[in-house]
Amino acid sequence: MVDLTLALLALLPLATIAVLMIGLYQPATRTMPLAWGVAAAAAFIGWQMSPRLIAAASIRGALTATRILVIVFGAILLLYTLKQSGAFEVINAGFASISDDRRVQVILLVFLMGSFIEGAAGFGTPAAIVGPLLVGLGFPRWRRLLSR
């Protein structure tokens, strides 16, 4: 019974996010601090964590989130730099000139360029760069989602 109670208590922050964001259409700027408060209260009440330990875990989580945000920001910066400099069109023209076969274009973009960008920049970056390239080559948006 205790395990079930702790499991439900652990799901409470996720349920808070789901209800507020999906059910009530609240923005993340309002939802996430509330979910953090629910998680902190659950840790304090359910697992008897000290406020000092909760603060330390919160700081560690903020630092981890900052690292992820820097990578995502870099991917978005790279995308807009490619668009503003005109390199996006050059890359699209290059991939279009390799083959007229759409399947070959998808394989080259998703696997080769996607892997290169993944190695160079980090997680999430290929989706931010390769997806718009596929749209630039004329692929429908729904097919872009299915190819990754």
DSSP 40-85: HHHHHHHS---HHHHHHHHHHHHHHHHHHHHHHHHHHHHHHHHHHH
Q: Given its phi and psi angles, is residue 124 left (phi above 0), alpha (psi -120 to 50 degrees) or beta? A: left
**Residue 7 has what pLDDT?**
93
**Residue 55 has what pLDDT?**
98
Q: Which of 55-64, 69-78, 92-101 has the highest mean pLDDT?
A: 55-64
DSSP class of 123 = T
Evaluate whether residue 59 is within a structural domain.
no
Q: Check whether residue 91 and residue 137 sit in a common domain.
A: yes
**Residue 107 has what pLDDT?**
82
Q: What is the mean pLDDT of residues 6-15?
A: 95
**Residue 30 has what pLDDT?**
96
Evaluate whether residue 85 is within a structural domain.
yes
**Residue 147 has what pLDDT?**
55
Evaluate whether residue 94 is within a structural domain.
yes
**Residue 24 has what pLDDT?**
95
Evaluate whether residue 57 is within a structural domain.
no
Evaluate whether residue 60 is within a structural domain.
no
Average pLDDT, the chain: 85
pLDDT per position as a tens digit, 75-110: 788 878 888 999 878 887 887 888 888 888 888 877
pTM, full prediction: 0.65
Evaluate whether residue 61 is within a structural domain.
no
Q: Check whether residue 96 and residue 128 sit in a common domain.
A: yes
**Residue 145 has what pLDDT?**
54
The parent domain of residue 23 ranges over 2-49
Q: What is the mean pLDDT of residues 15-26?
A: 95
> Please, which pLDDT band fits residue 124 given cuts at 50, 70 and 90?
low
Evaluate whether residue 62 is within a structural domain.
no
Amino acid in position 122: G
**Residue 76 has what pLDDT?**
80
Domain count, the chain: 2
d(CA 59, CA 51): 12
Q: Check whether residue 72 and residue 142 sit in a common domain.
A: yes
Q: Check whether residue 78 and residue 36 sit in a common domain.
A: no
d(CA 70, CA 63): 11
Q: Check whether residue 72 and residue 117 sit in a common domain.
A: yes
